[in-house]
Amino acid sequence: MLPLPVQTRKMPKLDLMDLIEQGFGQNMSLYSEIPSELQYCQFHKYHQKNDECMIFKEDYSIYMYAKKYKNNWQIYTRDPSDSQFDKENFEWILKIEDDVLSLWKKPNQFISVIKIIHCSNYTESYNRMRLLISNGKLNNVPLQFDSDYYPNGCDYISTIPPIYNSKKRVWHMQDSERMQKASKRNFLLGLHCNEEKKQVLKMGKIQTGVFIVDFKEPINFVIAFSVALATCDLKSRIRDQ
User: Are 66 and 225 contacting, i.e. CB atoms less than 8 angstroms apart?
Assistant: yes
- Using alpha carbons, select from 76, 113, 120 the residue that is nearest to residue 98: 113
Q: What pLDDT is attached to residue 191?
A: 96
Q: What pLDDT is attached to residue 236?
A: 56
Dump the DSSP string for the chain: -PPPPTTSPPPPPHHHHTTGGGTTTT-THHHHSPPSS-EEEEEEE-STT--EEEEEETTSS-EEEEEEETTEEEEESS-TTSTT--TT--SEEEEEETTEEEEEETTTEEEEEEEEE--S-TTT---EEEEEE-TTS-SS--S---SS---TT-EEEEEPPPEEETTTTEEE-S--TT--B--TT-EEEEEEETTEEEEEEEEEEEETTEEEEEE-TT--HHHHHHHHHHHHHHHHHH---
Q: What pLDDT is attached to residue 9?
A: 45
Q: What pLDDT is attached to residue 58?
A: 86
Q: What pLDDT is attached to residue 17?
A: 41
Q: What pLDDT is attached to residue 209?
A: 86
Q: What is the mean pLDDT of each run of 10 residues along the chain (241 residues)?
A: 44 42 58 93 80 88 90 90 86 93 95 84 67 96 91 95 76 74 83 89 89 95 96 60 37
User: Are 215 and 58 contacting, i.e. CB atoms less than 8 angstroms apart?
Assistant: no
What's the CA gap between 181 and 228, in Å, rounded? 16
- Kindly report whether the global pTM for this prediction surpasses the value 0.75: yes
